[in-house]
Amino acid sequence: MSSGNAFNDAWGDPQNQKQAPIDMAELRHYRQGRGAPAATLDSATLQARRLTLTWSDSRTGQFPLMWLRDHCACDQCRHPMTRERLYKLLDDPLWERFASDDALESFEFDAHSLTLAWRDGHVSRFDAGWLYQRCPGQELATLLPTATPWAETFTPDHIVHADFVGEGDGRSRWVRALLRDGLVMLDQGPCELEEVSRIAESIGPMRSTNFGGRFDVRSVPNPNNAAYTAIGLELHTDLPNWRQPPDIQLLYCLENDAEGGESSFADGFAVAEILRAENPDAFRVLSETLIDFRFQDDGHDIAVREPVIDLDEAGRPREIRFNNWIRDTLSLSADQIEAWYDAYRAFWQILRRPEQRVELTLEPGQMVAFDNRRVLHGRNAFDPNTGKRHLQGTYLDLDMLQSHLRVLSR
């Protein structure tokens, strides 16, 4: 077994520093100087089937040999075109030997790389910055902003359409605001049919529902949905009757000169937290009780049983389902029914507080985007006899929005 330190001394020679960069089959920056860690590799020691690595900023981490073998990025272990894993640990004849130091023939390192020679002749090379980012026990820094509840003074960010479609950072500012606040405005766009589809498709495929891939919001004869009437719409989330409701909604305004029709929004996560603080029993009832949501028309009967407030493992709100039109029969025991109605009214009362709402009048050429599983939306009634009101909308998956930001960050 070669000593790591002996190699370090040899590779520390400036003559040997100009090495070809190691391709880790990874599109996110991991090399020094490209938004990746600046720390260099200081030491590597092998003990008890793990390599302990230390970087110049004192970060240290233990890398099990089996992990290192599994993450080899050579052309045989990672497909050079798809970057997907080819290595199959179940078929590795060395696998049993990873339980001791015996699987490794030798290793060497310098400031920027680590090279492992395995007993079967395979050689794995790692970029030190890539290992730094993925050091076991350290969370890989996320490129995504965390969702931040609205304060009472919250106003959404506005991005100008020309900046969104231009070369600058307008697009990533728009995505960041949407991920952080769950609501963002796009201003001064063209009043063109399907502009909302072009914007959506520049991010990902439109998420289709029983209302199609792209929908028009205006009053129509014989509507199958309250949105297609002129009546006011209480704050709600769309399609809570789906197992996975649409994540992101885009609403693009083409005409809005009818009287009324102002839009309103509320942060469902913030409202849920207020309910938890003011009325813990109501919060518990809405987060623990599954109720039925359902939409029915001639061709559909889409139903699901879920809570109004869905919590994650840490007890934080993860999703709000609130849509009074498509709440189905409340199918609970008599005791539960009374407690649930009380809790539902308490949540709804907080939603109606003016300080919880952002109100705005959409202008032609303006688009609002919001996280439909967090932010509730509604509108005032409008008078279709005083002018036209026409919005075009579609949905996007959150995965596509997050993907878009990661790609923009490259």
Q: What are phi and psi of 321, to 5 degrees?
A: -120, 105
Q: Which stretch in 53-61, 166-174, 238-246, 342-350 sits in contact with Fe ion by CB under 5 A?
A: 238-246
Question: Given the complex with Fe ion, which of 25 and 396 has the nearer CB atom?
Answer: 396
Are 50 and 63 contacting, i.e. CB atoms less than 8 angstroms apart?
Answer: yes
- Within 10 angstroms of residue 103's Cβ, the number of other Cβ atoms is 21
CB of 372 to Fe ion, least distance (A): 8
Question: Given the complex with Fe ion, which of 233 and 343 has the nearer CB atom?
Answer: 233
Closest residue to Fe ion, judged by C-beta, is 238
C-alpha distance from residue 245 to each of 205, 208, 289, 379 (Å): 16, 11, 19, 20
Q: Which residues contact 167 (CB under 8 A, 6 or more apart)?
A: none
Q: Which stretch in 11-19, 232-240, 312-320, 381-389 sits in contact with Fe ion by CB under 5 A?
A: 232-240
Decide: is 238 part of the binding site for Fe ion (CB under 5 A).
yes
Instruction: State how far the Cα of 43 lies from the Cα of 47, in Å rounded to an integer.
Output: 13
Q: Which stretch in 88-96, 130-138, 237-245, 360-368 sits in contact with Fe ion by CB under 5 A?
A: 237-245
Decide: is 371 part of the binding site for Fe ion (CB under 5 A).
no
Q: Which stretch in 94-102, 212-220, 233-241, 314-322 sits in contact with Fe ion by CB under 5 A?
A: 233-241
Of 190-219, which residues contact Fe ion (CB under 5 A)? none
Question: Given the complex with Fe ion, which of 304 and 376 has the nearer CB atom?
Answer: 376
Cα 241 to the center of its chain, rounded Å:
21
Helix axes of 334-351 and 268-278: crossing angle, nearest 10 degrees: 120
Question: Given the complex with Fe ion, which of 113 and 263 has the nearer CB atom?
Answer: 263
SS3 labels along 256-301: ECCEECCEEEEEHHHHHHHHHHHCHHHHHHHHHCCEEEEEEECCEE
Question: Given the complex with Fe ion, which of 67 and 348 has the nearer CB atom?
Answer: 348
Decide: is 181 part of the binding site for Fe ion (CB under 5 A).
no
CB of 209 to Fe ion, least distance (A): 11
Question: Given the complex with Fe ion, which of 238 and 267 has the nearer CB atom?
Answer: 238
CA-wise closest residue to 265 among 234, 241, 226, 286: 234
CB of 323 to Fe ion, least distance (A): 8
Q: Which residue has the tokens 């985007």?
A: 369
Give the strand order in the sheet containing 60-64.
41-47, 50-55, 60-64
CB of 370 to Fe ion, least distance (A): 10
C-alpha distance from residue 57 to each of 31, 38, 176, 255 (Å): 16, 9, 29, 57
Question: Given the complex with Fe ion, which of 39 and 302 has the nearer CB atom?
Answer: 302
Q: Which stretch in 78-86, 91-99, 142-150, 235-243 sits in contact with Fe ion by CB under 5 A?
A: 235-243
Q: Which stretch in 103-111, 145-153, 234-242, 341-349 sits in contact with Fe ion by CB under 5 A?
A: 234-242
Instruction: State how far the Cα of 187 lies from the Cα of 80, in Å rounded to an integer.
Output: 42
Question: Given the complex with Fe ion, which of 195 and 238 has the nearer CB atom?
Answer: 238
Are 213 and 394 contacting, i.e. CB atoms less than 8 angstroms apart?
Answer: yes
CB of 208 to Fe ion, least distance (A): 16
CB of 369 to Fe ion, least distance (A): 13
User: How many angstroms separate the most distant Cα atoms in the chain?
Assistant: 86
Question: Given the complex with Fe ion, which of 11 and 265 has the nearer CB atom?
Answer: 265
Question: Given the complex with Fe ion, which of 170 and 378 has the nearer CB atom?
Answer: 378
∠ CA 361-367-372, rounded to 5°: 95
Q: How many residues bind Fe ion (CB under 5 A)?
A: 1
CB of 251 to Fe ion, least distance (A): 9
CB of 231 to Fe ion, least distance (A): 12
CA-wise closest residue to 175 among 342, 341, 369: 369
Q: Which residues contact 238 (CB under 8 A, 6 or more apart)?
A: 245, 246, 249, 323, 372, 377, 395
CB of 266 to Fe ion, least distance (A): 13
54 three-class SS: strand
CB of 74 to Fe ion, least distance (A): 51
Binding site for Fe ion (CB under 5 A): 238
